[in-house]
A and B are shown apart, each in its own frame.
Chain A
């Protein structure tokens, strides 16, 4: 605020000049909207913020407040500010897993009327669902993401359709058959389990989101795959400590033939390992049950408006501008973040960035949400703690233990 205070010299000048316009106190200040989002490295967010401010013709300007890259750490910082009612936050780049929590805690404002219609227009159904909680919309779908199967076309003639087939194929390839996946005890392990469970026809929570489902057969099937993968000679010995980036690095080193990972590995391989990129193919995430297409976990960033914002109306407007088509195109082509507007997947420029655009859209259409509960952080911790390390999973005993752990997590009960 001190910047806008008139300096002594200005006051003196005003006193001399008398009633000149602009001297009659402060010039009307342009409302500044603070957009808290992860520190996007390409500068696409920065540019989108500038574009929207320019388009507003001086009604608002947007200032980015960069957050850490890891979703856990972003949440840690946001939650403290939001629960303390910090008015500095206007727009929040919300990971899809926070929707229920932020909505139930009253930290973000609901979207209604034309703003909501605009936010929903032409967006992928799964992306809208990720921003919804109890029939209401709590954020504007902005970017999305999901995993694909990446494989070596020079070693594998036809991509495997199921997990069992892939493990068999990899074992037959011997030394170079390694499968890269995410097995560390963190959010990525929960993502892996949720994808396997949904592909086997199960869900973590019952439809009311308040009680545990984890039906016996699908849960056991998912756990069977996890155990089989971890115990196979085709698994990387570093699987229990592998995150997305360890998997990417190992695949780029060239000794692996399969990888489960997000779309960012495509531009990365082209930049860092062109020899591997030449033989890099993509396919749908393997199914658990033959003939039943896989359902893969949805990721991405939606734009919420903080309940303590000083300019909520402007924040809704700005969020819709950031999430509009030109900026989704920008985030996709420059930042490599897949758009939530379905039609963009037919756009020539986007198809050049994502040569696998059709597969991506198809996977996103069938995507599964992670449990939509205010206690998601607890539930995720319960899942990853129970199922790590994957090689020690006992499909029968652990499905019971998992059900109990998730039940306690939903009650926010006891240590996990």
Chain B
């Protein structure tokens, strides 16, 4: 390696260093600390009684019905919201892409929900569905309480999630749509390909990397769902998500060991999801997204 190349490499490291150090301090340290805490029986109220118990916290969590129930709820919410968001997001992206008049207004309007804080959005939906003060029952001529039964509570949670994050999906997909070369589509049209054929044979395959990235982002995000459920049901009616279980254990019960074990397990679930996407769909995230 020439001297110049060595110097450049050293400069590159120096330029990266602040970012790397920041990440280590704010991300790696808490992660490793949580891993460490999860090996102890440790109650914030009685720090003096802390003792090492190995993997007992993990056995306790994995052996409890509450964890598996919460995990299946979370997977249900994740799958439900991500599928709807992908379909709706695609529709929105096409509308934003094709809009001939008022393109800016259309794009802005579709992005508004994403700009609203989740807690605020969840509160608004909670009030809307409230049987005493809400407008939904009045509008539909219904009497019941939406958040009082499991099925309808899931419906409201999914609706809130979808309403809130579809714009995010649409935005990522819109970026992907702009990568599809217009010439290619025009050539296909000249060759006599129909609209659906052009969409499924050209647009979709070219957008595959973008779709996978969008799905990956949203799946990881949806799996960690907390605020929507916390505001709407607080986990009642069998809608508990894994993050709510972690919150109850760590923040309410102050059981640092058990709560950290829950957090670490959530972390591993997220890792597994990411690995599944990258492996299963064969996408190299570091490759440039080129058509």
**Interface residues of A, Cβ cutoff 8 Å to B:** 72, 76, 79, 83, 101, 104-105, 184-186, 237-241, 246, 249-250, 253, 374, 377-378, 381, 388-389, 412-416
Contact = CB atoms under 8 A, between A and B. Distances in A.
A239 B237 CA distance: 13
Nearest to B48: A106
Interface in B121-142: 130-133
Contact of B148 (A83, A238, A378, A381): A238
Contact of A415 (B130, B131, B245): B245
Contacts of A79: 44, 254
Contacts of B130: 238, 246
A184 B144 CA distance: 15
Contact of A105 (B45, B63, B145): B45
B60 interface: yes
Given A72-B252, A105-B46, A253-B132, A240 B61 contact: no
A249 B133 contact: yes
A240 B237 contact: yes
Contacts of A250: 132
Given A249-B132, A377-B254, A416-B248, A237 B43 contact: no
Contacts of B234: 184-186
Contact of A381 (B43, B64, B67, B248): B248
Contact of B258 (A76, A83, A185, A414): A414
B9 interface: no
Contacts of B61: 414-415
B131 A237 contact: yes
Contacts of B67: 415
Contact of A184 (B43, B44, B236): B236
Interface string B231-250: 00111110000000100110
27 contacts: A83-B47, A104-B45, A104-B46, A105-B46, A184-B234, A185-B236, A237-B143, A237-B144, A238-B132, A239-B148, A240-B236, A240-B237, A241-B147, A241-B233, A246-B132, A374-B45, A377-B252, A378-B253, A378-B255, A381-B252, A381-B253, A389-B237, A412-B43, A413-B60, A414-B61, A415-B245, A415-B258
B247 to A, nearest CB: 10
Contacts, number: 86
B251 interface: yes
Nearest to B257: A412
A237 B148 contact: yes
Interface in B242-291: 245, 248-249, 251-255, 258, 262
A92 B248 CA distance: 23
Nearest to B248: A381
A381 B147 CA distance: 20
Q: What 8 A-B pairs are tightest by C-beta distance, nearest first?
A: A185-B236, A240-B148, A105-B45, A415-B66, A238-B145, A238-B131, A415-B64, A241-B147
- Of B45, B64, B132, B251, most buried by chain A (CB within 10 Å of CB) is B45
B253 A412 contact: yes
A389 B133 CA distance: 22
A250 B131 CA distance: 10
Nearest to A379: B253
Contacts of B45: 83, 101, 104-105, 374
Given A377-B253, A415-B60, 16 more contacts: A76-B251, A76-B252, A237-B145, A239-B148, A240-B145, A240-B147, A241-B148, A246-B132, A249-B133, A377-B254, A378-B253, A388-B236, A389-B236, A413-B60, A415-B64, A416-B66
Interface string B53-78: 00000001101101100000000000
Given A249-B133, A381-B253, A389-B237, A414 B46 contact: no
A71 B255 CA distance: 19
Contacts of B255: 378, 412
Interface in B158-214: none
Contacts of A239: 148
Contacts of B66: 415-416
B152 to A, nearest CB: 11
A374 B43 CA distance: 11
Contacts of A237: 131, 143-145, 148
A319 B45 CA distance: 24
A83 B251 CA distance: 13
A277 to B, nearest CB: 18
A70 to B, nearest CB: 11
A389 B254 CA distance: 25
Q: Which residue among B144, B249, B254, B262 has the maximum number of chain A CB atoms within 10 Å of its CB? A: B254
A184 B131 CA distance: 14
Contacts of A374: 45-46
A119 to B, nearest CB: 24
B235 to A, nearest CB: 7
A377 B254 CA distance: 9
A110 to B, nearest CB: 17
Contacts of A415: 60-61, 64, 66-67, 245, 248-249, 258, 262
B78 to A, nearest CB: 20
A388 B233 CA distance: 12
A186 B46 CA distance: 25
Contacts of A249: 132-133
Contacts of B236: 184-185, 240-241, 388-389
A389 B252 CA distance: 21
A388 B245 CA distance: 16
Contacts of B143: 237
A13 B45 CA distance: 52
The residue among B60, B63, B132 with the most chain A CB atoms within 10 A of its own CB is B132
Contacts of A414: 60-61, 63-64, 258
B236 to A, nearest CB: 4
Nearest to A382: B253
Contacts of A101: 45
B220 to A, nearest CB: 23
Contacts of A388: 236
Contacts of A83: 44-45, 47, 254
B289 to A, nearest CB: 42
A241 B145 contact: yes
